[in-house]
Amino acid sequence: MLIGNVVEGVTTRDGWVKGAAGPIEMRIYRADCTTGDRLPLVIFLHGGGWVSGKFVSHDWLASSLARQSKSIVISLAYRLAPDHPWPAAAENAYAGMIDVVQRADAFGADSSRVAVVGDSSGGNLAAVIALMARHRKGPKISFQGLMYPATDLMLESPSIDAHDDAPILTKADVIAVVDHYLNGADASDPYVSPLRANSHSDLPPALIQVAEYDPLRDDGTRYAAALQASGVPVRLTTYVGQPHGFISFPHMSSAASQAIAEMAAELRVALSS
């Protein structure tokens, strides 16, 4: 498969967590080489424009993170548009995170060492639930890993026009999935567009990875600047020559493994005991 399979040496099992409107599915990834009763916990949210995607589409990515970061990675499903427009995905992701953190011991995870990671629309949701956790007084998140995230659904990033006909994701694609997701909701709401939050202070430290030939590139660079301006430690990496979604195509892009290694290294440091 172009998107890759679960990497060797990682065990998976599926289960359910409490969502905002009923149970949602999850997949747990744990590297066979990890030892100890309580490992760091990484909540992973998959991309797919809020309209598609599930565990299988991100098995390689999530399992690679689990093995290299030596963490328990739990990939959460969430309700997809257009059947379930905003705020369904965001509220389900937040509710699922709370349930996972509360049951961390059952997964062999440490509830005091939690990170959120997501790619594309999943990066949007990871940033959003970090905001929610700050506003709603928990749970404590130690790190956010955002892979080419969508942070401004008002679509005002210059790269959207600069790379309107890019491979993998075009401007027309962005407009279509945003329309499905919002269904008329206010794009300036910070739980839609985390870049639009009144304040970015006291958010978790972040690694933001962007691709050079990506309409969403400047969503990531602008969010990094906003975090930095608010005193949040942030590292921004631009992967030269890469299109949107490259991390999910390990057999097509040699940069995919590099990006995973960078994210895993940041997770290890941020979640060290």
Q: Can 214 be counted among the known catalytic residues?
A: yes
Contact 145, 120 (CB under 8 A): no
Q: Can 46 be counted among the known catalytic residues?
A: no
Strands, E, within 32-108: which ranges? 39-45, 72-76
Q: Can 163 be counted among the known catalytic residues?
A: no
Marked catalytic residue, from 120, 121, 159, 193: 120
Contact 145, 45 (CB under 8 A): no
What span, in angstroms and rounded, lies between the C-alpha atoms of 124 and 143? 15
What span, in angstroms and rounded, lies between the C-alpha atoms of 125 and 53? 14
Marked catalytic residue, from 152, 214, 218, 219: 214
* Cα dihedral: 16, 2, 50, 128 (round 10): 80
What span, in angstroms and rounded, lies between the C-alpha atoms of 75 and 78? 10
Strand order in the sheet with 143-147: 10-19, 22-31, 72-76, 39-45, 109-119, 143-147, 206-213, 234-243
What span, in angstroms and rounded, lies between the C-alpha atoms of 242 and 253? 8
Marked catalytic residue, from 46, 58, 84, 244: 244
Strands, E, within 137-261: which ranges? 143-147, 206-213, 234-243
Q: Provide the annotated active-site residues.
A: 120, 214, 244
